[in-house]
Amino acid sequence: MPLQKLTDFLDENEVHYAVIKHSRAYTAQTVAYSAHIRARDLAKVVIIYLDDKIAMAVLPASDSVDLDLLKESTGSQSVRLAKELEFRNQFPDCEPGAMPPFGNLYDMGVFVSSHLAEDELIAFNAGTHTELIQLSYSDFAELVSPVVIRLSERDR
């Protein structure tokens, strides 16, 4: 159960959070609509490769990853989006495309949009296409230690 692994981790770390159930949705924009959350307040995970090392880019659902900006912000020589076939085995407890932004639980780095870092609360997929977790950004940052960078056109 993907949600159980995440909530156990949050409970062990004494983090306050809310579970938001919504109708089945697959795109970040549709998830936001189904959960009655503004797209800019929903964090989506995009799996990327930075110089052949897999990582997570986490940004508002309303934004798109700017690969050139990501390359510049990380100082990487090459940056590309990962294909689902390349990473689906990395998240055996999650439905495809519903990974939570906790790279530390999956042995990968996490890069977060500077816009999300400004939010008091963030919500994100909890490993399924029907559940979100909402918690304070400060708790997320303390647990994950993401690198805050410019990821999208809006971050320029």
pLDDT band at 32 (very low <50, low <70, confident <90, very high): confident
Q: Is the pLDDT of residue 100 over 90?
A: yes
- Owning domain of residue 123: 2-155
Q: Judging by DSSP bridges, how do beta strands 79-81 and 131-136 pair with one another?
A: unpaired
Q: Is the pLDDT of residue 1 over 80?
A: no
pLDDT band at 34 (very low <50, low <70, confident <90, very high): confident
Region 39-67 average pLDDT: 93
Q: Are 73 and 114 in contact (CB under 8 A)?
A: no
CATH for 61: 3.90.960.10
Of the candidate ranges 21-30, 65-74, 135-144, the one whose mean pLDDT is the lowest: 21-30
What is the pTM for the complete model shown?
0.92
Number of domains making up the chain? 1
Determine the pLDDT at residue 2: 66
Region 40-64 average pLDDT: 94
Strand locations in 2-139 (E): 17-21, 42-50, 53-60, 79-81, 109-113, 121-125, 131-136
